[in-house]
């Protein structure tokens, strides 16, 4: 018999979403007539819009012809990489600094191979779980010790610090995961804050993995959509991005990672060359059909559709946020992000989760599942059909009204 990879045994059991699914199943079994609505997950719900969908279909059709057939393309279609550089980064990167992927999450997992198990890892707390779980899998983080994994530095993002962490605790030569717009808090870092982040990375000899998967939800023109808008970012950051939440490609699978040639290891070797090696070794490139869809998404018509789709989810987010605020629940996010982060002071996240399931038949996500600083918070996701979101908001409003004066008064 083979030994189990010891790192797998370090992963905490009862991962957030399976636990939520279990509680939902149990509740549905006891309440078969309840019409449960989920505001809990980040999966998209709306159809892919016509110009982008046509690109996908045409990509599939082309594969049935001699002229249109294509096979492997490890680092991605040249035209797609060039288009991404032009549209997202004002042409500041050459095509060989942009790697097309099957999604941001997959690349975040693979990126750890570049740094091995000895690198100190820093995350925002709360954070998207894959940064932490990927670190555990590669052995860069050890066993669960009470409120976090051994070897990971958690930087608390709280109401008090405006959801931007104290960076003085960043260790030397660390890998810093930073997500903006943030999942789960919905907070978006300002340019000044990203400047601070870049300075902290430069001073500590660290590297930032900047996750910009929700950049297309930013509506405030003053907010940066990429770490490369900040001077010095090119010297200390790589960036992952995705078509999932902008074009509705959660199931199609397409993303990209920018690895500037300026990035070097301590030994002087280029990180870009190693990433090319990793991609060629364990990933044979994104689907060519998905890439045809990606190209269509980056035409003027496709970009208008990205705007239309993200506007739709932002409309949902505004409905949820306004409902919560009217009920006296303090929350952030939902304006430049599809997530709303709601605060229920002094309450246990799972207890609030159960209360909303029981009284409103709503599935949400307990904030504590994203890290210790998420305790007392609930994440509401705006991914859903409009009519369903409206019904969820009606239930929330009715519940909090029934508590006579909203959440705050009833829980003093
Ligand atoms: N990054 C963040 C912050 C996310 O929330 C998600 C998905 O929810 C991803 C990455 C995954 O993106 P992809 O679908 O491209 O793998």
The phi-psi region of residue 219 (left if phi > 0; otherwise alpha if psi is between -120 and 50; otherwise beta) is alpha
The secondary structure of 117-176 as a DSSP string is TSS-EEEEES--HHHHHHHHHHTSS--EETTEETTEEEEE--TTTTT---GGGPPTT-EE
Question: Mutation test of ligand 1: which of 40, 105, 184, 257 has the most ligand atoms closer than 8 Å to its C-beta?
Answer: 105
| Cα 104 to middle of ligand 1, angstroms | 6
- Could you report the per-residue pLDDT of 319-332, keeping only the tens digit for each? 999 999 999 999 99
pLDDT the model gives residue 406: 58
| Cα 66 to middle of ligand 1, angstroms | 35
Tell me: pLDDT of 155 over 70.
yes
Tokens 């930013």 found at: 218
Tell me: pLDDT of 148 over 70.
yes
For the chain, list the domains and their CATH numbers. Answer: 13-42+302-400 (3.90.1150.10), 50-299 (3.40.640.10)
- pLDDT interval class at 407 (50, 70, 90): low
- Could you report the per-residue pLDDT of 280-316, keeping only the tens digit for each? 999 999 999 999 999 999 999 999 999 999 999 999 9
Residues ≥6 apart with Cβ < 8 Å to 22: none
Closest residue by Cα to atom 2, ligand 1, is 213
Question: What's the pTM value of the predicted model, to 2 decimals?
Answer: 0.96
pLDDT the model gives residue 185: 98
| Cα 97 to middle of ligand 1, angstroms | 21
- Could you report the per-residue pLDDT of 199-217, keeping only the tens digit for each? 999 999 999 999 999 999 9
Q: Are 370 and 297 in contact (CB under 8 A)?
A: no
Tokens of 412: 């003093």
Question: What is the enclosing helix (H) or strand (E) of 235?
Answer: helix 233-236
pLDDT the model gives residue 147: 82
pLDDT the model gives residue 28: 97
First to last CA, the chain: 57
- pLDDT interval class at 363 (50, 70, 90): very high
| Percent of the chain predicted with pLDDT > 90 | 93
**CA dist 283 → 109, 294, 302, 337 (Å):** 12, 19, 27, 30
Task: Give dist(CA 300, CA 291) in Å, integer.
Answer: 16
Of the listed ranges 132-146, 174-188, 224-238, the least confidently predicted one is 132-146
Query: Helix (H, G, I), strand (E, B), or coil: what is residue 22?
Result: helix
Cα–Cα nearest to 125, from 86, 164, 85: 164
pLDDT the model gives residue 249: 98
Closest residue by Cα to atom 7, ligand 1, is 42
- pLDDT interval class at 24 (50, 70, 90): very high
Count the neighbouring beta carbons within 10 Å of the beta carbon of residue 55.
25
Ligand 1 nearest atom to the CA of residue 254, by list position? 15
- Could you report the per-residue pLDDT of 39-61, keeping only the tens digit for each? 988 899 999 999 999 999 999 99
Between 16-30 and 349-360, two packed helices, what is the crossing angle to 10 degrees? 30
Count how many residues are written for the chain.
412
Average the pLDDT over 161-185 and give the result. Answer: 97
* 412 burial via Cβ count (<10 Å: 0-12, 13-18, 19+): exposed
What is the rounded average pLDDT for all residues in the chain?
95
């Amino acid at each position: 018999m083979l030994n189990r990879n010891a790192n797998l045994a370090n992963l905490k059991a009862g991962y957030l979403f399976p636990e939520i699914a279990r509680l939902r199943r149990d509740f549905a079994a006891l309440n078969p007539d309840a019409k449960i609505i989920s505001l809990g997950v980040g999966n998209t719900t709306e159809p892919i819009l016509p110009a982008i969908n046509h690109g996908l279909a045409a990509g599939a059709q082309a594969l049935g012809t001699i002229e249109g057939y294509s096979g492997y393309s490890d680092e991605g279609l040249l035209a797609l990489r060039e288009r991404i550089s032009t549209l997202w980064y004002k042409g500041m990167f050459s095509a060989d600094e942009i790697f097309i992927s099957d999604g941001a999450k997959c690349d975040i997992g693979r990126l750890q191979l570049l740094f091995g198990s000895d690198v100190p890892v820093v995350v925002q707390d709360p954070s998207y779980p894959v940064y932490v779980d990927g670190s555990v899998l590669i052995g860069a983080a050890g066993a669960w010790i009470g409120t976090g994994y051994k070897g990971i530095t958690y930087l608390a993002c709280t109401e008090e610090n405006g959801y931007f962490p104290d960076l003085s605790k960043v260790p030397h030569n660390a890998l810093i995961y930073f997500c903006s717009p943030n999942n789960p808090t919905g907070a978006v870092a300002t340019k000044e804050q990203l400047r601070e982040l870049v300075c902290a990375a430069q001073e500590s000899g660290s590297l930032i993995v900047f996750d910009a998967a929700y950049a297309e939800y930013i509506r405030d023109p003053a907010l940066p959509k990429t770490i490369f808008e900040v001077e010095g970012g090119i010297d200390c950051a790589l960036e992952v991005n995705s078509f999932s939440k902008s074009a509705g490609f959660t199931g199609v699978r397409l993303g990209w990672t920018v690895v500037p040639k300026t990035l070097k290891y301590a030994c002087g070797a280029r990180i870009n060359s190693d990433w090319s090696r990793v991609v060629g070794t364990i990933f044979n490139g994104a689907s060519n059909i998905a890439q045809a869809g990606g190209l269509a998404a980056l035409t003027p018509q496709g970009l208008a559709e990205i705007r239309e789709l993200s506007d739709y989810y932002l409309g949902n987010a505004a409905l949820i946020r306004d409902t919560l605020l009217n009920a006296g629940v303090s929350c952030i996010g939902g304006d430049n992000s599809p997530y709303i982060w709601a605060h229920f002071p002094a309450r246990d996240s799972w207890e609030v989760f159960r209360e909303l399931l029981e009284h409103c038949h709503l599935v949400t996500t307990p904030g504590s599942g994203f890290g210790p600083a998420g305790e007392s918070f609930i994440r509401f996701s705006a991914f859903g059909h409009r009519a369903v979101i409206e019904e969820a908001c009606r239930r929330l409003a009715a519940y909090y009204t029934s508590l006579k004066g909203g959440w705050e008064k009833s829980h003093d």
